[in-house]
Homo-oligomer: A and B are copies of this chain.
Amino acid sequence: MQINAWAALAKNAPLTPFVYEKELTPEDVLIKVKYRTLSNSDVLFIGDFWGNTKYPLVPGEDIIGEIVKRGDRTKGLEIGDVVGVGYQVYCCGLCEWCKSGLEQFCRKQKNLRIHEHGGLADFMIVNHKFAFKIPENLQRPEATPLFCGGLTVYSAIINNGVAKDMKVGVVGIGRLGHLALKFLKSMGCQTYAFTSNTDKKTDLAKKGYNVIDPKNDFTEYKESFDLLLYTSTADLDWNKYLSLLRPVGKICLVGFPQNRVQFYAGLLNDYSRRQIVGNFIGSRKDMIDMIGYASKHKILADAEIFPYQKSNEVLSLVRDGAIQYISVITKLKEIL
């Protein structure tokens, strides 16, 4: 069938209408897309930041839509179901990772914008394993950023053993970071936001978060954090942040600093067992757990919402840092 999308046809080109062909296999569902994010990660893909972009590039990483057709082998999903889709849209099902419920490490996985077109389109065809039914209170634009960004931070929080009353900091408060703060606060953690942005500092304090300016010398916070979740792309003085950790504390990286991470080994192993750990999206189980948790605790993104036709303006706003925290959700264009 023909799918009507918007795409960048070349590096940093503006988005223009683009039609592509894709057929539904027995394992797929056809989703009429309702909402999708446009964020800095789309800007980076369009700008070929990682050097692997293939054009035309259809942006859109988190998606909410409705199933309008399903293949024969898509058990558990029905026409009319509202589903969320994130960065991963396929796994082989046969490798050790797939078999052990860690599909996010499958070496044959497919991801939106690398192997499959993104969500800025009228429809998407997605493997049924990666279309996740969502409850009614998440069927709205502000829930869209949960399906990649939300999953990534929720998985990082859960898989690093975060529990009530722990002291957790989020470094970089954007698309991922602001969702991390919401999850952590709802879990009863002592939640700290690290940001130097004046507007964000005011807003986050108003929302009840502890705010630390990275220019602070950190003396009063030394050896006190259980986890620091790095969601930024900025280079840090990593020694300074490691010194914030308790002897068994961790820094978890879900962001990609431009330059190398650098630190003195003694900060990991001298009178301590500190850790620097990575996290990559989450498993299917993490996704299902995250959806249940977000629904129960009413976790939604602080999203700025724009119509489909404004997609190019939205990318400009993202490039200019004019979107406060968060990925932007574009509404379905009225007439496709």
Residues of chain A touching chain B, judged by Cβ–Cβ distance below 8 Å, are 97, 102, 104-105, 107, 109, 159, 247-248, 253-257, 260-280
Residues of B within 8 A of A280 (CB): 247, 269-273
A328 CB, nearest partner CB in chain B, Å? 24
Apart from the given pairs A105-B271, A261-B263, A267-B278, 10 other A-B contacts in the complex at a CB distance below 8 Å = A104-B271, A247-B280, A253-B268, A260-B262, A261-B265, A268-B277, A269-B278, A270-B280, A275-B277, A276-B276
> How many copies of this chain are found per oligomer?
2
13 chain-A/chain-B pairs, Cβ below 8 angstroms: A105-B248, A105-B271, A105-B273, A109-B271, A247-B280, A256-B265, A256-B270, A261-B262, A268-B278, A270-B278, A271-B280, A272-B280, A276-B277
Contact A159-B255, Cβ < 8 Å, known A260-B262, A261-B262, A261-B265 = no
In the bound complex, what is the Cα–Cα distance between A242 and B278 (angstroms)?
Answer: 12
Task: Decide: A268 and B260 in contact? CB cutoff 8 A.
Answer: no
A286 CB, nearest partner CB in chain B, Å? 11
Task: Decide: A275 and B278 in contact? CB cutoff 8 A.
Answer: yes
Residues of B within 8 A of A248 (CB): 102, 105
